[in-house]
């Protein structure tokens, strides 16, 4: 394919086109949670990544209209909890669309606090317990950078929960080959 072909098929980057294009990418599914003077909140987030290993920093992007955004700013702590393929119900619950029960319900699973006081999911694939190092406004979201105080990995056979093409899927490595499981709705 030459550059002229690419140019001819390009679509202008409207919010709708951008959202559609981003839906084709694969992202891990996480719950970002906070607790403190402003209350306990959690939200399903796919925009999470490492920033630095020295010092350990991680970022999470939270929509400005989310109550978790306001609470996180004032509680000054948060956890990032990477979900497994067995946590689809949690992803939906903290996205505000539970199959059953209440939206944003912490009672549906076991959570514990570590050094920062942020809720950490007991059976997350991995969780990062963080204090807010910085935050930046970017479009409709706030980018929160957390200084990792504690990290815990679990020895769990379930694959990581991923999101792509507007659906959840479980992925796990098998001898270096990524295996995609059927999505559960």
Asked whether the beta carbons of 110 and 136 are under 8 A apart, the reply is no
- The sheet that has 167-174: what strands, in order across it? 27-28, 160-164, 167-174, 177-180
Q: Is the pLDDT of residue 96 over 80?
A: yes
pLDDT band at 175 (very low <50, low <70, confident <90, very high): low
The DSSP result for the chain, as a single string, is --HHHHHHH-----HHHHHHHHTTS-EE-EEEEE-STT--EEEEE--EEEEEETTEEEEEEEETTSHHHHHHHHH-EEEEEEPBGGGHHHHHHHTT--SSS-TT-GGGS-EEE-SS--EEETT-SEEEEEEEEEEEEETTEEEEEEEEEEEEE----SPEEEEETTEEEEEEEETTEEEEPPP--
pLDDT band at 4 (very low <50, low <70, confident <90, very high): very low
Q: Is the pLDDT of residue 84 over 70?
A: yes
Over the chain, what is the mean pLDDT? 85
- pLDDT for 116-157, tens place per residue? 999 999 899 999 999 999 999 999 999 999 999 999 988 777
> How high is the pLDDT of residue 166?
76
> How high is the pLDDT of residue 15?
77
Question: Global pTM?
Answer: 0.83
Taking the C-alpha atoms of residue 26 and residue 132, their distance in angstroms, rounded to an integer, is 26
Asked whether the beta carbons of 168 and 159 are under 8 A apart, the reply is no
Q: What's the alpha-carbon Rg for the chain, to the nearest Å?
A: 17
CATH number listed for the domain at residues 27-180: 2.30.110.10
- pLDDT for 20-73, tens place per residue? 665 566 678 999 999 999 999 999 999 999 999 999 999 999 999 999 999 999
Taking the C-alpha atoms of residue 58 and residue 142, their distance in angstroms, rounded to an integer, is 14
């Amino acid at each position: 394919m030459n550059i002229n072909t690419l140019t001819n098929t390009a679509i202008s980057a409207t919010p709708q086109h951008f959202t559609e294009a981003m839906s084709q990418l694969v992202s891990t599914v996480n719950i970002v949670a906070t607790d403190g003077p402003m209350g306990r909140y959690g939200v399903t987030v796919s925009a999470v990544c490492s920033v630095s290993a020295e010092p350990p920093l991680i970022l999470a992007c939270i929509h400005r209209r989310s109550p978790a955004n306001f609470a996180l700013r004032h509680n000054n702590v948060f956890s990032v909890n990477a979900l497994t393929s067995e946590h689809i119900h949690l992803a939906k619950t903290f996205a505000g669309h539970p199959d059953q029960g209440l939206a944003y319900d912490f009672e549906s699973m076991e959570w514990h606090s570590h050094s920062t006081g942020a809720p950490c999911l007991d059976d997350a694939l991995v969780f990062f317990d963080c204090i807010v190092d910085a935050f930046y406004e970017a479009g409709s979201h706030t980018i929160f950078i957390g200084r990792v105080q504690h990290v815990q990995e679990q020895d769990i056979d379930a694959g990581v929960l991923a999101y792509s093409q507007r659906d959840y899927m479980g992925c796990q490595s098998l001898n270096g080959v990524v295996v995609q499981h059927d999505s559960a709705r």
